[in-house]
């Protein structure tokens, strides 16, 4: 078992549900961020256009910015 700091790989891709869970936000907030072009997303299967994938680094950057901009 590894207890050291996690390493973020710049090309690690996640589906929206996994990414929202990773960022600790509701799925709908991440969907809103993707549709508002705050987080880049790709569709990996041409017949399933709603199945988006996002990069972990983009989600981390968005979540960090989101936490800083939300008043306490």
Q: Give per-residue pLDDT as tens, 17-64.
A: 999 999 999 999 999 999 999 999 998 776 776 788 999 999 999 999
24 in a structural domain: yes
Check pLDDT > 80 for residue 12.
yes
4 in a structural domain: no
Helix axes 27-35, 16-23, angle to 10 degrees: 110
Number of domains in the chain: 1
53 phi and psi, to 5 degrees? -125, 140
3 in a structural domain: no
Check pLDDT > 60 for residue 3.
no
């Amino acid at each position: 078992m590894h207890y050291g700091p996690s390493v973020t790989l710049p090309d690690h891709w996640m589906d929206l549900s996994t990414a929202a869970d990773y960022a600790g936000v509701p799925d709908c907030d991440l969907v809103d961020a993707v549709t508002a072009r705050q987080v880049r997303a790709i569709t990996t299967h041409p017949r399933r256009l709603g199945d988006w994938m996002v990069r972990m680094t983009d989600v981390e950057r968005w979540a960090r910015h989101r936490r800083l901009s939300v008043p306490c």
